[in-house]
């Protein structure tokens, strides 16, 4: 048992980023394939994988945050297994609406300056 824990710790230290990604992808992949096969929660999984990719791509930028890897695991597990109220989808819709309002505001501002 001690050797197993030691081996996992050594692997974690050597390949921490990959280890975190594998720890997230492997458990969620089973639930993802089950839901896609049963054709349920397809929108949830689209938003989940967008969030996961966003966190993975920008992990180098925010890697200076001490507990970012732990935060990434907790967020991904929450949105994959415990998000019954679709908070992730609501968050993306909120961001989309905010961006659309900003685009409309700047379009009218540009039109006013051009006229």
Q: What does the pLDDT read at residue 69? A: 85
Average pLDDT of the chain to the nearest whole number: 86
CA–CA distance, 82 with 87 (Å, rounded to integer): 10
CA–CA distance, 54 with 17 (Å, rounded to integer): 15
Q: What does the pLDDT read at residue 11? A: 74
Instruction: Say yes or no to pLDDT of 17 above 80.
Output: no
**Per-residue pLDDT reduced to its tens digit, 55-111:** 888 887 887 888 888 888 899 999 999 988 888 888 888 999 999 999 998 888 888
């Amino acid at each position: 048992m001690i050797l197993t824990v030691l081996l996992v710790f050594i692997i974690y230290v050597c390949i921490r980023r990959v280890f975190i990604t594998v720890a997230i992808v492997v458990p969620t992949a089973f639930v993802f394939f089950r839901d896609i096969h049963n054709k349920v929660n397809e929108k949830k999984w689209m938003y989940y994988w967008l969030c996961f990719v966003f966190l993975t791509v920008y992990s180098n930028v925010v890697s200076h945050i001490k507990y970012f890897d732990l935060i990434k695991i907790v967020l991904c597990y929450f949105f994959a297994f415990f998000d019954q109220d679709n908070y992730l989808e609501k968050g993306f819709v909120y961001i989309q609406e905010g961006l659309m309002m900003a685009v409309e505001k700047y379009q009218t501002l540009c039109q006013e300056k051009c006229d």
